[in-house]
Amino acid sequence: MTHLFVYGTLKRGCKNHPHLAGQTYIGEARTGGGYQLYHLGEYPGMVTQASDTQGVTGEVWWVDDAALTHLDDFEGVAEGLYRRERVALLAPFDRLVVDTYLYARESGVRLIGTTWVEK
């Protein structure tokens, strides 16, 4: 089992949320500073941004190993689209070990800041 921070289309109410079916929602969360979101069209990509002080908002989920394997495939980890890494969250989740998906490619698209809102 793994705690997973999601910040885009996997969040509750978004189009790819069904990929978390059967997993346990823990709560809303925010990363510490050092991260921002790129707009990649129909989905965001979280990237490290040393100058950021606000972090990124999202949700923490408790996912089983089968779901994590599925999500790694869905997020394109093997293809190098995203990489799963540990991320530090603010309280009350600051003591949890949490993974997230960071965008792993160069981006020429615009930064959108701290929160993804699906339209």
Amino acid at 44: P
In this prediction, residues 53-65 reach a mean pLDDT of 97
pTM metric for this prediction:
0.95
Domains of the chain, CATH where assigned: 2-113 (3.10.490.10)
> Which residues are known catalytic residues?
75
Q: What is the C-alpha separation between 93 and 40, in angstroms, rounded? A: 27
Residue 80 DSSP one-character state: T
Please report, in angstroms and rounded to a whole number, the separation of the first and last CA atoms in the chain.
31
Identify which of 113, 104, 89 has the alpha carbon closest to the alpha carbon of residue 37: 113
Q: Would you say residue 50 has pLDDT above 70?
A: yes
pLDDT, mean of residues 46-71? 95
